Amino acid sequence: MSEQGARLKTGVIGLGVGRTHIQGYQAASAAEPVAVADVNEAALERAKADYGIPTVYTDYRELLADDAIGAVSICTPDKFHAEQALAALDAGKHVLCEKPLALTAEEARAIVQKVRDTGLKFMMCHNYRFIPQFAELKQRLDSKILGQVYYGDSSYVQDLYSMAAFGPDYWRFKDPQNFYLGGAVHNVDLLLWLLGEVVEVSAYSNHAWEAYPIDENYVSNFRFADGSIGRVLLLLGSHMKDEFFVDLNIYGAGGALKATMQSPHLIVNVADLPSDRQDIIRVELANSHHLAIAAFVNSVLEDRTPPITVEDGARTVAVCLAAIESAREGRPVQVDYGLM
């Protein structure tokens, strides 16, 4: 599957956000989604009807045994990612894995090791890096427009109350999903990408949403290796109807860069006094999942390292685990990156 010009046959495991992966593969001219797996037969039937997927499986291992498939997307609930990623690599498939990579440092390390041993392509679907205004922010930052960066923050605020309609057996309630690994993982990945390694985290959490079994609100403060400081805010107990807000703000000695997911703009403030000026750059909105999937397909077909690696996924998990531990234990926690 590595030669140029070939079309990459793909499989998608898990059909919630996995439906977006099917669409992304169908939009990428060099790929073709040929099979899906889900434990829910109704979801399989819908995928067949909506996207014309010819082959469906109720057991993901049968999909992995299909030699025609070169790469898979893992889009199942968080707790299955490690098991399915390892099985996919063992079956010789390239992998695009939904966030988070894994739920423990041990699982994350096992996947990193397996990717290194097999030499297969593995990309983390930290798709927020492909949100055009965030990608533009990264480009400006890399051009050193801000001079010495000293601070970055990113918030994830969402009204998730409507999720109660899925009932207490829904996996996010039942397992339950720790939303720091399920939501703030995006913000943590963005800050690691922009500001580099986080060495210490100090976090607080609490609980406002009665139906949810564990804390869903976090404030987390970061100290970065280069001396910068930062913060990630996660608020899922928001009762602001249908609210979903993600922002990204970076400050340096020479100015600031600011963007939100909801607005197609990047604010660039360059503090080169006396001509202190602010530009508002408009970007073309695009589906960040589709862009991530296209990048994954290209890295497989062109035999290149994917833009978001398994190590990136493992480092993000390490910071999330440090934040969760800090909030639980009421003390700052050093991030343990292990073999990353």
Take residue 66 and report the two structure tokens written for it.
């299909």
* Smallest separation (angstroms) from ligand NAD to the CB of 78: 4
Q: Are 69 and 34 in contact (CB under 8 A)?
A: yes
* Cα distances (angstroms) measured from residue 39 to each of 44, 54, 93: 8, 17, 20
Can you list the positions of beta strands (E) in 170-243?
198-206, 217-224, 229-235
Q: State the binding string over 173-212 for ligand NAD (x if CB under 6 A, else -).
A: ---------x------------------------------
Per-residue x/- marks for ligand NAD, 124-163, CB under 6 A? -x-x------------------------------------
Round to whole Å and give the CA distance between 222 and 199.
7
Determine if 313 is a binding residue for ligand NAD (CB under 6 A).
Answer: no
List binders of ligand NAD among 76-95 (CB under 6 A): 76-78, 80
CB of 276 to ligand NAD, least distance (A): 36
Q: Look-up: residue for tokens 């051009």?
A: 143
Summarize the chain as % helix, strand, coil (round to 5): 40, 30, 35
17 scored as a contact of ligand NAD (CB under 6 A) = yes
Residue 333 sits in the site that holds ligand NAD (CB under 6 A): no
Angle, CA of 72, 79 and 223, to the nearest 5°: 100
Exactly one of 2, 6, 40, 279 binds ligand NAD (CB under 6 A); that residue is 40
CB of 34 to ligand NAD, least distance (A): 17
Say if residues 160 and 216 touch (Cβ distance below 8 Å). Answer: yes
Binding residue for ligand NAD (CB under 6 A) from 25, 60, 193, 209? 60
Could you identify the residue written with the tokens 């599957």? 1
Pick 99 or 114: Cβ nearer ligand NAD: 99
As measured in angstroms, the least distance from the Cβ of 215 to ligand NAD is 17
Q: What is the DSSP letter of 2?
A: -
Residue number with CB closer to ligand NAD (151 or 245): 245
Paired tokens of 103:
């739920």
Q: Are 255 and 247 in contact (CB under 8 A)?
A: no
Nearer to ligand NAD, 10 or 228 (CB): 10
Stretch that binds ligand NAD, among 8-16, 111-119, 204-212, 219-227 (CB under 6 A): 8-16
Determine if 14 is a binding residue for ligand NAD (CB under 6 A): yes
Q: Is 287 exposed, middle or buried (0-12, 13-18, 19+ CB in 10 A)?
A: middle
d(CA 235, CA 157): 5
Using the rule CB under 6 A, give the single segment among 73-81, 196-204, 248-256, 267-275 that binds ligand NAD: 73-81
Please report how close the Cβ of residue 277 comes to ligand NAD at its closest, in angstroms: 34
Helices (H) and strands (E) in the chain, counts: 11, 15
Residues found near ligand NAD in the complex (CB under 6 A): 13-17, 37-40, 43, 60, 75-78, 80, 98-99, 125, 127, 171, 182
